[in-house]
Amino acid sequence: MRYKRTIYFGLTSILCMFLIVGCGSLSDKNQSSYQLKSKQITKKPGARDSVVNELYQQHQEWQGVRYHLGGMNKSGIDCSAFVQLTYKSRLGIHLPRTARQQSRLGTTIRKHQLEPGDLVFFRTGPTSKHVGIYLEKNKFLHASQRKGVTISRLDNVYWQSKYWKSVRP
């Protein structure tokens, strides 16, 4: 009986750990293997509108797909996988898998400097991070735990209180 209790406690502890650390919890190994081209996606004339259009099309295609920690497809996806997939399929840029790894890329920028395609990061718990992609007019695209893939506002009380930083890959 004691052996079964130990196994149960161990499995419960592991499950709780995954729930606590959230979206950016997957391994950070291979961090150094990701190197972004220092390509700013909104610098060319007309590129800003193109990025915004691609992101809205991605939203249309994925809207409502439920959140699933570790998920990477339309049956369930987490925030960092959604950002990784969106960047690759819509913008042709390869990003690492986790929010933590993604937060270490590019140049940190101030909130008032945000341009379409910039990454916005949030601290949603003691060790968990959340990531989304800035659209325009204070809106960002992300995979929400409550609503699935959706568009939210940076000035929403919840997101405003959890805002951590913004990065331009």
Instruction: Give the distance from CA 104 to its chain's centroid.
Output: 13
Q: How far apart are CA 55 and CA 114, in angstroms?
A: 15
Question: Tokens 């502890």 map to which residue?
Answer: 13
CB atoms within 10 A of CB 115: 18
Q: Kindly name the residue from 23, 94, 112, 142 that is annotated as catalytic.
A: 142
Question: Whole-angstrom Cα distance, residue 95 to residue 4?
Answer: 41
Catalytic residue among 16, 59, 68, 79: 79
With CA atoms as reference, report the closest residue to 162 among 126, 133, 113. 126
Active site residue 112: no
Neighbouring-strand partners of residue 166: 109, 120
- In angstroms, rounded to a whole number, what is the distance separating the alpha carbons of residues 134 and 149? 14
Confirm whether 59 is a catalytic residue: no
Q: Is 68 a catalytic residue?
A: no
Phi/psi at 112 (nearest 5 deg)? -75, -10
Active site residues per annotation: 79, 130, 142
